[in-house]
Amino acid sequence: MKRRWLLWLLFGVVPTAFVPTLLGQATMTTIRTNGPTSARINLVYLAEGYTTVQLPQFLVDVTNTMNKLLTIPPWSSYSNYFNVFAISVASVQSGSDHYTPTTNLVNTYFNSTFDSYGTQRLLTIPPNDRDGNYNDGYGKVVALLQQFVPEYDVAGLIVNDTVYGGSGGQYLLASVNSASGEIANHEIGHTFAKLGDEYSTAYPGYPDVEEPNTTTNATRGVKWNDWILPATLVPTPDVSSNYTVEGVFEGAHYHATGWYRPKHDCKMRTLGVAYCEVCAQELVLSYYNALRPIQAKSPAATNFFFGGPGTMAAFNIAILKPPTNSLAVQWFTNGVAVGFATTTNFAITAAQLAPGTTNEVKVVVHDATGYVRTDPTSKLWQTNIWRQFVMGAPAITNPRWTGTNFTLAVASVAGFNYVLEFKNTLTDPSWTAIQTNPGTGGSVALTNTGPVGSNRFYHVRVQP
């Protein structure tokens, strides 16, 4: 039940300046929190077709929907990556518009309707073929999300109507039919991971554009070949002996022939079954597209000093460990992996590094989950690099007078600044800065161009 691209094609140009009114009654409830919105994947559901007295039921419906979602793989394996919020806004009337078998129109907040584009179960909000006004539907969703959860990652509407229906797209919609949890779990595959429908039911006019789990390529070169055993025939006969293996099965993307899917069955084909391995992989990649596993790091700055030979520098990262598998951690110095440095803490002494120059400390975090075999853009990897300057005092060369100016040079390191400072007597409590120049990796000149007066003492300070 996906009509995202069609909606985009039909209504690709939408006004953005509109600010809906009638926001006064909306409230937000936190259904589930695992951390700050800036560091989690934020799922947001909005109430459609709930009257004021029905809004408590909306919170129950969201809770039930989320409980179903976060207990099925792969969502269950990353359940602590998610926050869930509910935005309650009352509709004047209950339910949603219907045109079959008889026309029954109700006054709801987002003006949702079944029977979109001639399909009864296709449940959408404007702009659509029933109401072309963006401000009646999408515009209100955008405004509420901006008001309450601007850091949302996935948003959807729970539609208080017991008829079976839903849609994916920019925002997913799911009715409160007895299958509502399953509808939402199917539609979120579209909305969050851009998965396609794997069923064959014709949908004339739908763009024939491949999704991660649909293809016209019935060869070993198929994009999910990492999941296909060498012994499996391609294309793959859809017979019971192949029901549990990945392959290239004909029938997908609203076509019975010429289009292919990765497995005999999948939640993107049939409600109530598990996501196939390829769809689960795309979901996990989407999690890491929205969330980075390194949640905090110390030192916070990329460039910093490291003192003399006896000193020690400590590094630390906080990572978001999923509930059922660990994240691999490896520390490196100057590109070389350090043995047994595989925890979130790392320490090094200056003596282990080259003095008077920058050294690089790197940590790499990787989720080696079995859900993912193909990760072309390394979404399951995260790297953090620190560059540290190991102090030996910066070497001052060629101090001299040039006319009335006093000038000197220092051997510099790129990425750090060099500050010429003076005192008139060594008993002065502080140094006064004269000139700051960035390091180049070579010799950098520093000059006192102002009046010098009597004796001055100079030094050069290095700062990140």
- Residue ranges in contact with Zn ion by CB under 5 A: 213, 266, 268, 276, 279
Cα(257)–Cα(248) distance, integer angstroms: 12
Q: Nearest approach, Cβ of 275 to Zn ion (angstroms)?
A: 6
Of 331, 341, 335, give the one whose Cα is nearest residue 354.
335
CA dist list (Å): 134 to 2, 126, 320: 19, 5, 38
Q: Nearest approach, Cβ of 323 to Zn ion (angstroms)?
A: 23
Of 167, 182, 158, give the one whose Cα is nearest residue 45.
158
Q: Which residues in 353-416 belong to E strands, given as ranges? A: 358-366, 381-390, 396-402, 405-411
Q: Nearest approach, Cβ of 263 to Zn ion (angstroms)?
A: 6
How many CB atoms within 10 Å of residue 407? 17
Q: Nearest approach, Cβ of 99 to Zn ion (angstroms)?
A: 31
Q: Nearest approach, Cβ of 262 to Zn ion (angstroms)?
A: 6
Q: Nearest approach, Cβ of 227 to Zn ion (angstroms)?
A: 11
Q: Nearest approach, Cβ of 2 to Zn ion (angstroms)?
A: 13
**Nearest CB to Zn ion, comparing residues 248 and 268:** 268
**Nearest CB to Zn ion, comparing residues 266 and 317:** 266
Q: Nearest approach, Cβ of 34 to Zn ion (angstroms)?
A: 27
**Nearest CB to Zn ion, comparing residues 122 and 266:** 266
**Nearest CB to Zn ion, comparing residues 203 and 227:** 227
How many CB atoms within 10 Å of residue 395? 12
For residue 329, give both structure tokens. 């951690």
Cα(397)–Cα(400) distance, integer angstroms: 9
**Nearest CB to Zn ion, comparing residues 44 and 279:** 279
**Nearest CB to Zn ion, comparing residues 276 and 350:** 276
Cα(96)–Cα(109) distance, integer angstroms: 10
Cα(93)–Cα(96) distance, integer angstroms: 9
**Nearest CB to Zn ion, comparing residues 136 and 282:** 282
**Nearest CB to Zn ion, comparing residues 140 and 186:** 186
**Nearest CB to Zn ion, comparing residues 217 and 303:** 217
CB 458 within 8 A of CB 448: yes
Q: Nearest approach, Cβ of 251 to Zn ion (angstroms)?
A: 12
Ramachandran assignment for 120, one of left (phi > 0), alpha (psi -120 to 50 degrees), beta (any other): alpha
Q: Nearest approach, Cβ of 228 to Zn ion (angstroms)?
A: 14
Task: For strands 358-366 and 328-333, give the pairing.
Answer: antiparallel
**Nearest CB to Zn ion, comparing residues 80 and 232:** 232
Residue 170 one-letter amino acid: Q
Cα(20)–Cα(102) distance, integer angstroms: 31
Q: Nearest approach, Cβ of 198 to Zn ion (angstroms)?
A: 5
Of 184, 182, 200, 203, give the one whose Cα is nearest residue 192.
184
**In 3-state terms, what secondary structure has residue 444?**
strand
Cα(376)–Cα(391) distance, integer angstroms: 40
Cα(1)–Cα(3) distance, integer angstroms: 7
Task: For strands 246-252 and 358-366, give the pairing.
Answer: unpaired
Task: For strands 345-349 and 336-337, give the pairing.
Answer: unpaired
For residue 322, give both structure tokens. 């999923």
**Nearest CB to Zn ion, comparing residues 260 and 331:** 260
Q: Nearest approach, Cβ of 252 to Zn ion (angstroms)?
A: 9
Of 424, 436, 430, give the one whose Cα is nearest residue 460.
436
Residue 162 is given by DSSP the state -
CB 431 within 8 A of CB 460: no
Position of minimal CB gap to Zn ion: 266
**Nearest CB to Zn ion, comparing residues 266 and 313:** 266
